[in-house]
Structure 1
Amino acid sequence: MSVGNWETRPNTTADDIMELMHSVYGLKVLYVKILKSYDHQNVYINVDLSEYENANILKPCSTGYVLKIMNSHDSALCAQHVEGEINLTRKLNENGLACPSYVPDKCGRLFSQQELPSKTNGGKTAHIIRLLEYIKGEILSEVSVNSQLIQDGGSWLADMHNILEGYEDPYIKSYYTFHYEAVPHLRKHLHLVLDEHDRDLLQSVLDKWDSLEQQMSSLPRGVIHYDMNEQNVLVRKFPKEGWKIVAIIDFDDSSNGLKIFDLAIYIVYMTLISDCSLDTGYDCLHGFMKKRELTKAELDVLYYCVVMRLVISLVNGLMSYSKEPDPYFLETQKPGWKALRALWALPAEKILERWLGSKLAHADSQV
């Protein structure tokens, strides 16, 4: 998908969404709330539980739904990937890892193409739409995180990798601008970074990344989430246990990639919501490695995967903002630069020592 692809996002109003829900899904909308999204339009919807016209729905979901409307650019290219997402989430749910379930429309389809108002030309363009059951909870960024929650997230990620071990799907092979595979294209956008010292920092990270290409080529690969951030982890507060993770959401970026990328992405975003503490990686690793081992080769590149994901997020945020000055695109900038400068100022070996700690001294030593 194209970062900040605002030109091709739908321009739907609440009335459009109500009509869409009625005509396609046979549901009567009572409440609509637009949710944050980089490239698409995501909408929380509450519906009338007694008035519906859809033989494929036993009864409406009492917690509501999330309507996902893909931008028209990706809608023309990514229909197969959507099928892959459906298969992937079904696989995870069947194996006990909770994620949103897809809802069939009146024709029994789990996704469809619909003509919706365009953001730019005043006409209509085709968009893929999907309806998912809303899982009750708060996104992780909206609660006060602690060491245990971060460790639990690492364990959930490891569980996901264990479930997907050996899993293959020809449709899960997309290329997105937040993927590590897009790194070669970042250099042409460094002019968006106004500070010369910061540009030099990014250049040095990119140069180091280029030197790791052969080293990383033999690392374990597979289907990964590819966007395990604080917006995609759902938590709920329980009377005795406190905040617990209840689901993982948003598999739009899922792809076939190096498995270590998922853990690096998780470390990045947990660090950013933990006041950029460089020791946050310890909790991420500790939770992950309780459920799944890492090879020495993976540990050797983990630090560089973390700093590169920060570079990807920072540059892509500036790219998006240059196209559409939405403050949402800049949310990562302040904490992201703080974390990147702090990490890059220390040797990779020192950071890895802090992340591993004595409790993880048993890490697999095989290459």
Structure 2
Amino acid sequence: MSLKESKPNLSHSQVTGIVERVFGLTPASIRLLPSYDDQNIAVTTVEGGEYVVKVMNSADSQNLSVLELQTDIMNFLQQRDLPVQKVLPTLTGQLMSLEEIDCGFGMQKYMVRLMTYLPGTVLAKITCTPQILYEAGKMAAIIDKVLLQMEHPNLGALQRKNFIWSLASVPLLKQYLAVVDGDPMQHVVKGVIEQYQIQVTPNLSSFRKCINHGDFNDHNVLVEPDDSSNYKITGILDFGDMSTGYFVFELAITITYMMIENANPLDVGRPVIAGWESVIPLNEAEKDALYVLVLSRLCQSLVLARHAVLQQPENEEYLMITAKTGVHLLFFLWQKGKEEVMKIWFQSAAEHSQSCQGAETK
């Protein structure tokens, strides 16, 4: 089944029917939210609440154990005062409901969840100051650190072998390289995969293990202005790419996505690393791998976005959000080289950390 056939595309009336029948609420308004391969719908109700209905694609809906675990993890984090959506029960007390729906490709089963609506603007829509980049790095680290406390009989479900979005799966990109045939980018992607196999694969045992959110990007982080001229993080969205991994993977993903919309991308690494290290200091092996891991994430985003557009051409604008600027960023970082980039990231990360921590205590 193609990505297009697997992605849900419920009509307003189908959404209304599910919200009424499954959750006992009456929609007053329905608004579609952007999504990659699922369907996210903001719903306000006659009863007065504001919610998000998340309909999983039909392929992921078959993986019940992973979805149950993601749901439990979100509630685990929310109970520990992290700004994560709470998953709300159905009328029968379940946290998910498997619904059979026809979205134009015949009857298929889609897992449906109702979640609290979090206020805020996506980070991609604001001009990111060093302060909010520091907060983003810090929040990514806090989430992974808190998840070390998670006990669950089904945690093994997150060992998603060959999960293409995991930074452990970078060598698997070789099978998708045909989508960049004739593009100068292909040469760089091949070079990054080669560097990954030389610099990352042999050192995996030196990285510290954890559970990764896996998609800490500027469209999954919500912010609001605080009392000063700064921003605070009010929401972390989309736990669909969670998997077991390593702390340094999460940091690399966070740096990558915070660079995408930034006018001075090379300046992003410093505050993000400083925020991260205020919670989890990096060891030498993790520091050494960071440059290649950031380039690897850019390669994943670019190659897999091209692949997805072939299957979902009507969703090209959303699918290529990262790719449009990401391709220039990939060339830029590749040409700069590891030594120069690492020098910029780490030389003043320490002084950046001191200035941000000083601001926190004021």
Task: Give TM-score scaled by structure 2 length.
Answer: 0.90
Question: Which residue, out of 207, 212, 215, partners 1:219?
Answer: 207
Question: Which residue, out of 169, 184, 198, partners 2:171?
Answer: 184
Q: How does 1:266-345 map to 2 (within 5 A)?
A: 266-275=254-263, 277-325=265-313, 326=315, 327-345=317-335
What amino acid is aligned across from residue 284 of structure 1 in structure 2?
V
User: C-alpha deviations, 1:167-201, integer Å up to 9, x for none?
Assistant: 45233333532222332331122122144432111
Q: How does 1:115-264 map to 2 (within 5 A)?
A: 115-120=100-105, 123-165=106-148, 167-168=150-151, 169-174=155-160, 176-211=163-198, 212-264=200-252
Name the % identity.
Answer: 28
State the distance in 2 between where 1:185 and 1:255 align: 16
- What residue in structure 1 maps to residue 12 of structure 2? 14
Size of the alignment, in residue pairs? Answer: 346
In 2, are the aligned partners of 1:275 and 1:335 still within 8 Å (CA)? no
Gaps of 5+ in 1: 50-59
Greater percentage in helix: 2
Question: Which residue, out of 80, 91, 97, partners 2:82?
Answer: 97
SS of residue in 1 equivalent to 2:203: helix
C-alpha distance 183-342 of structure 1, shift in aligned 2 (>3 A): same
State the distance in 1 between where 2:349 and 2:10 align: 51
In 1, are the aligned partners of 2:271 and 2:349 still within 8 Å (CA)? no
What amino acid is aligned across from residue 203 of structure 1 in structure 2?
K
CA RMSD in angstroms, aligned pairs only: 2.0
C-alpha distance 185-316 of structure 1, shift in aligned 2 (>3 A): same
User: C-alpha deviations, 1:203-232, integer Å up to 9, x for none?
Assistant: 111111122311123311111101100111
SS of residue in 2 equivalent to 1:165: helix
State the distance in 2 between where 1:268 and 1:276 align: 13
SS of residue in 1 equivalent to 2:18: helix
Tell me if 1:348 matches 2:346: no
SS of residue in 2 equivalent to 1:6: helix
- What residue in structure 1 maps to residue 53 of structure 2? 67
1:155 Cα deviation after fit = 1.1
What amino acid is aligned across from residue 277 of structure 1 in structure 2?
P
Structure 1 segments, 4+ long, off by >3 Å, are 238-242
State the distance in 2 between where 1:334 and 1:9 align: 23
SS of residue in 1 equivalent to 2:46: strand
- What residue in structure 1 maps to residue 347 of structure 2? 357
State the distance in 2 between where 1:162 and 1:333 align: 30
SS of residue in 2 equivalent to 1:98: coil
State the distance in 2 between where 1:273 and 1:280 align: 10
Task: Give TM-score scaled by structure 1 length.
Answer: 0.89
SS of residue in 2 equivalent to 1:114: strand
State the distance in 2 between where 1:362 and 1:278 align: 14
- What residue in structure 2 maps to residue 35 of structure 1? 33
SS of residue in 1 equivalent to 2:113: strand
User: C-alpha deviations, 1:24-61, integer Å up to 9, x for none?
Assistant: 00100011111111111111111112xxxxxxxxxx63
SS of residue in 1 equivalent to 2:67: helix
- What residue in structure 1 maps to residue 357 of structure 2? none
Tell me if 1:81 matches 2:66: yes
Gaps of 5+ in 2: 354-362
In 1, are the aligned partners of 2:119 and 2:235 still within 8 Å (CA)? no
